[in-house]
């Protein structure tokens, strides 16, 4: 395989680190983006380098255009190209709609929608120049099916799904595919706020009878990122054990 470079946002988190590890094991050079979790990102980088993989960290606040530009430029300076972009960084700020603040809505939309949009906008010219690119957006089942007290999160992931569908049509002629992965409830720190009773009720509805792992999401991303997936674009794949 060619030495492709993958930029993974939110790489210090549970799903992000699994994606980065899986792609590194597949032979990709990985740029590990983080927002504030420098220690976790550096630990992941050191672990991957210790296994003989090519890993590097880059920091940036994805709600700021200047930081997005910097993340892309620094990655290009370090690796010289970006072949795969995985928009994984995300935020939750749940509340009933009549109790949700404007700030909570704006924060989630800024991180979950505008951040990926700006990253894609910054990366696409480089992908177009090579007539090759793989963009994988991490969405959520909430984006397609909704959930109570998640109007901001659901709206943001619904927007990501539509962005994926629109950009696959726009970028396909340039050799760039755009797909999305919709995880169900994954056992990561981001879902620690859900109590055991609610988790058990959720798992009881899954035909596979168990909760998906971050590695399961990573394998879906690996498929979309591969050379072999050149004719797979505009797809939104659920990783939820058949729940929906």
Q: How far apart are CA 20 and CA 17, in angstroms?
A: 5
Give the count of beta carbons closer than 10 Å to the beta carbon of residue 228. Answer: 8
Is position 153 annotated as part of the catalytic site? Answer: yes
The DSSP secondary-structure symbol of 146 reads -
Is the torsion defined by CA of 73, 74, 77, 81 positive or negative?
negative
- Distance, CA of 176 to CA of 130 (rounded, Å): 10
C-beta separation of 89 from 113 below 8 A: no
Q: Which of 166, 69, 176 lies closest to 129, judged by CA?
A: 176
From the number of C-beta atoms within 10 Å of its C-beta (0-12, 13-18, 19+), residue 201 rates as exposed
| Alpha-carbon span 181 to 136, nearest angstrom | 7
Q: Which of 28, 34, 132, 153 is catalytic?
A: 153
Asked if 114 and 63 count as a contact pair (C-beta separation under 8 A), the reply is yes
The helix (run of H) or strand (run of E) holding residue 29 is strand 29-34
Alpha-carbon span 62 to 202, nearest angstrom: 31
On the CB side of 236, how many CA atoms lie within 13 Å of its CA?
A: 23
Residues known to be catalytic: 153
């Amino acid at each position: 395989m060619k030495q492709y470079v993958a930029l993974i946002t939110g790489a210090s988190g549970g799903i992000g680190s699994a994606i980065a590890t899986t792609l590194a094991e597949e032979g990709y050079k990985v740029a590990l983006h983080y927002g504030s979790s420098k220690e976790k990102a550096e630990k992941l980088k050191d672990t991957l380098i210790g296994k003989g993989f090519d890993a590097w960290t880059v920091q940036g606040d994805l709600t700021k255009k200047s930081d997005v530009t910097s993340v892309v430029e620094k990655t290009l300076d370090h690796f010289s190209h970006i072949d795969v972009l995985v928009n994984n960084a995300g935020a939750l700020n749940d509340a009933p709609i009549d109790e949700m603040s404007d700030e909570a809505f704006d924060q989630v939309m800024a991180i979950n929608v505008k951040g990926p949009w700006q990253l894609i906008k910054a990366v696409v010219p480089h992908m177009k120049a090579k007539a090759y690119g793989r963009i994988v957006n991490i969405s959520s089942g909430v984006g397609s099916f909704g959930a109570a007290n998640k109007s901001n999160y659901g709206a943001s992931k619904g927007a990501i799904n539509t962005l994926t569908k629109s950009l696959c049509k726009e970028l396909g002629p340039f050799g760039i595919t755009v797909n999305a992965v919709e995880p169900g409830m994954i056992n990561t720190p981001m879902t620690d706020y859900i109590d055991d009773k609610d988790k058990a009720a959720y798992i009881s509805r899954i035909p596979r009878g168990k909760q998906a792992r971050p590695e399961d999401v990573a394998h879906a991303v690996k498929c979309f990122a591969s050379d072999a997936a050149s004719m797979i674009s505009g797809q939104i794949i659920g990783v939820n054990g058949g729940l929906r």
